Amino acid sequence: MRRAFPPGGGAAAPVYSAAAVALPGMPACRRAGIGATFPAFPTSMSDPYRARLLARIEELAAEHGELERVLEAVLAEPMVDEIRVRRLKKRKLLLKDQIALLRRELDPDVSA
């Protein structure tokens, strides 16, 4: 992240610029912090950013399904490893949260 220091080279706390937090593939309007003038999210299905989001959602959903199958197999064992079950459940919940976040980014619930 780039830091912008005050003129004169003083030792004041750094001020982080908006351009420093831009992510690759983020629409220019989001990088510039202009949400009101330009659409904050891609709108067409042919948009490469939207396509990457959809692909990532599919990857995460596949991993979530695989974790579900592994969890069922672990729970079916005679000696259940509670720590492993807890870790699998946490990972599964994390994936579910990531999927929900990406879906909200695709279709934001904005009240106008």
Judged against a pLDDT cut of 90, whether residue 59 lies above it is answered with: yes
Residues 6+ apart with CB under 8 A from 38: 27, 28, 29
Query: Domain residue spans in the chain?
Result: 43-106
Q: Quick one: pLDDT at residue 33?
A: 44
What is the Cα–Cα distance from 56 to 83, expressed in whole angstroms?
28
Q: Quick one: pLDDT at residue 107?
A: 86
Give the pTM.
Answer: 0.56
